[in-house]
C-alpha cells in the first residue's frame, strides 16, 4: 500500500487528527481501485460496508428516478470521504456513486473505521460532524430548488466550485453534469451561462469556466 495514502486520509475531515499509526493500521485492511470515467462505484441499496475516499479524480453522488431522470447531489474530489451515514448506521447505500473522470478510490471497511472512532474520540466527533454537514447541504439544496430560479442556482453553483487564483473552475464538468447538479436541463443551464458571459461575469472556453466577477455573481444569487 503506497505510503502517500496516509496523506490522502489526512486531507479528510474524518481522519485529519488521527495518529499516523492508526491510519497505517486502517490502510492495511483497505482496497485501492481504479475506475474509468462514468463507471458505477456502487448503487442505491448496496451494502454500506465501506467508507469510500477519493484518492484522485472526481466522483459524483446521484439519485435516479424510475423513468431514468437523474439528480446529482454532489461532486467531490481528492481527499473527500463518501458513505459516512452508512458507516454510522450500517444501512444500505442511499444513492449511486459514479466517477466523473478516471479516478482512484480507496475502500475502508466499516468495522475498521468504527474501531478507529472508538479509539480516537476526535474521529468519532468528525464522523458526527460529517453527517451533520451532509444534512445541512441537502437542506440548503432543497431550499435553493424551491426559492431560487435557475440562473440564481447556476450562479451559486459556480461560486461553490473550487477555483484557481485566476478564477478557473478546477472541476471540469460538462453542461449536462451541471444540469444534473441543478435539477435542470443542459439547454437551460447553457442559456444562464451565456447570459453571465455577456455580462462579463464569466468566460467560457471549451469545457472550462473562468469566474471573472465573483462579487457580481454573489449579488445576483442573493448571497
CATH of 148-221, one of 2.102.10.10, 1.10.10.10, 1.10.3720.10, 1.20.1080.10: 1.10.10.10
Q: Which of 139, 160, 155 is nearest to 221 (CA)?
A: 155
Taking the C-alpha atoms of residue 175 and residue 198, their distance in angstroms, rounded to an integer, is 17
What is the per-residue pLDDT for 206?
78
Q: Where in the chain is the domain with CATH 2.60.120.10?
A: 5-145
Taking the C-alpha atoms of residue 71 and residue 196, their distance in angstroms, rounded to an integer, is 23
pLDDT at 207 over 90: no
Taking the C-alpha atoms of residue 172 and residue 59, their distance in angstroms, rounded to an integer, is 12
Query: 32 Cβ partners below 8 Å, 6+ apart?
Result: 1, 2, 5, 55, 104, 105, 106, 107
| Set of cell numbers at residue 86 | 452508512
Q: Where in the chain is the domain with CATH 1.10.10.10?
A: 148-221
Under a CB-based contact definition with an 8 Å cutoff, are residues 172 and 213 in contact?
no
Q: Which of 70, 77, 87, 89 is nearest to 182 (CA)?
A: 70
The percent of residues above 70 in pLDDT, for the chain, comes to: 98
The pLDDT tens digits of the residues spanning 106-134 come to 999 999 999 999 999 999 999 999 999 98
Crossing angle of helices 214-221 and 150-160, in 10° steps, is 140
* Three-class HEC string of 185-200: CHHHHHHHHHHHHHHC
Taking the C-alpha atoms of residue 129 and residue 187, their distance in angstroms, rounded to an integer, is 37
What is the per-residue pLDDT for 168?
93
CATH topology (fold) of 5-145 = Jelly Rolls (2.60.120)
Name the band, by pLDDT with cuts 50, 70 and 90, for residue 2: very low
CA dihedral (135, 137, 142, 147) in degrees, to 10, reads: 140
The average pLDDT across 189-211 equals 93
The average pLDDT across 70-82 equals 91
Identify the bridge partners of residue 71 per DSSP, sorted by sequence position: 63
Amino acid at each position: 500500500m503506497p505510503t502517500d495514502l496516509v496523506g490522502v486520509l489526512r486531507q479528510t475531515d474524518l481522519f485529519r487528527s488521527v495518529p499516523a499509526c492508526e491510519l497505517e493500521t486502517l490502510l492495511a485492511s483497505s482496497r485501492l481501485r481504479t475506475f474509468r470515467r462514468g463507471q458505477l462505484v456502487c448503487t442505491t441499496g448496496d451494502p454500506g460496508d465501506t467508507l469510500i475516499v477519493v484518492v484522485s479524480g472526481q466522483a459524483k453522488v446521484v439519485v435516479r428516478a424510475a423513468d431514468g431522470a437523474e439528480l446529482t447531489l454532489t461532486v467531490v474530489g481528492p481527499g473527500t470521504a463518501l458513505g459516512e451515514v452508512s458507516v454510522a448506521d450500517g444501512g444500505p447505500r442511499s444513492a449511486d456513486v459514479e466517477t466523473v473522470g478516471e479516478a482512484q478510490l480507496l475502500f475502508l471497511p466499516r468495522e475498521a473505521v468504527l474501531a478507529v472512532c472508538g479509539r480516537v474520540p476526535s474521529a468519532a466527533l468528525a464522523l458526527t460532524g460529517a453527517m451533520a454537514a451532509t444534512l445541512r447541504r441537502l437542506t440548503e439544496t432543497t431550499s435553493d430548488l424551491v426559492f431560487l430560479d435557475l440562473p440564481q442556482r447556476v450562479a451559486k453553483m459556480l461560486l461553490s466550485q473550487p477555483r484557481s487564483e485566476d478564477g478557473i473552475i478546477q472541476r471540469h464538468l460538462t453542461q449536462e453534469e451541471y444540469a444534473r447538479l441543478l435539477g435542470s436541463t443542459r439547454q437551460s443551464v447553457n442559456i444562464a451561462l451565456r447570459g453571465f458571459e455577456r455580462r462579463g461575469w464569466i468566460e467560457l472556453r471549451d469545457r472550462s469556466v473562468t469566474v471573472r466577477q465573483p462579487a457580481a455573481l454573489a449579488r445576483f444569487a442573493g448571497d
